[in-house]
Structure 1
Amino acid sequence: MRFAIFSILFALLAALAMAKAPLKSVIVSYPDSTPNSVLDKAKSAIVEAGGIITHEYNIIKAFACNAPTAVLENVQAWGNEYNALVEEDSVVTTFGGGKE
């Protein structure tokens, strides 16, 4: 009986541990004067937290990603010195979103 209860508890804990936090689609950008090491640190933290870098921009110091909200808050805090901007990734249109 103890073994059955222990097995059920273990299975529940394993299920909770494997549950992932929902990912948020954002663009993280920095001023041009920001060192590349700051961007590398942010990208590494996002990947380690289970996020995905979806695009790296070349003209500006920025990248797009899908990441858990908690790590995005950390990235925002680390970037305060460099004025990091974390904003939701969305479609931008002109002329009222294509409606005529």
Structure 2
Amino acid sequence: MKLAIISTLAMSAIVLGAQLPQKAVIVSYPDETPDHILDQAKDAIKAAGGMITHEYKLIKGFAAKAPAKILESVQTWGNDYHAVIEEDQMVSIVTTDE
């Protein structure tokens, strides 16, 4: 019986998490950050109903779509390794000044 209740609650959390508004972000960490810290952040984002859209090779970080609430948690976790989370947006070098 307890297993059924726990399963139902877990499924409800997943469904509710998937319904929260998703933000497209880039999450980056200092170069000396251990890989398990990034893995922990990616796992938390996935568990909250988000998804990892790209993993970067030149910097320690990744792009994701995730609920804002989990992004706040990811940013505050590390004492030694602070995540920088910024909105993912289009950048252009073309200007329209005339």
TM-score range, shorter chain: 0.7 to 0.9
Provide the residue aligned with 1:75 in structure 2: 74
Residue correspondence of structure 1 range 1-100 to structure 2 within 5 A: 18-19=15-16, 20-96=19-95, 99=96
| TM-score normalised according to structure 1 size | 0.75
Equivalent position amino acid for 1:72 in 2 = L
Q: Quick check: which one's helix share is greater? A: 1
Question: Considering only CA atoms, is the larger Rg found in Structure 1 or Structure 2?
Answer: 1
The whole-number CA distance in structure 2 between the counterparts of 1:35 and 1:18 is 31
Tell me the distance in 1 between the aligned counterparts of 2:79 and 2:86: 14
SS in 2 for 1:45: helix
For the residues of structure 2 that align with 1:79 and 1:66, how far apart are their CA atoms? 20
When structure 1 is superposed on structure 2, of 41-50 and 76-85 the one drifting more is: 76-85
Q: Extract unaligned runs of 5+ from structure 1.
A: 1-16
* Percent of aligned pairs sharing the same letter: 54
| Cα distance in 1 between the residues matched to 2:15 and 2:70 | 17
Q: Deviation digits for residues 3-53 of structure 1, max 9, x if unmatched?
A: xxxxxxxxxxxxxx8451010000000011000000000000000000010
Ranges of 4+ aligned residues in structure 1 off by more than 3 Å = none
Distance in 1 (alpha carbons) for counterparts of 2:24 and 2:35? 22
> What value does the CA root-mean-square deviation take over the aligned residues?
1.9
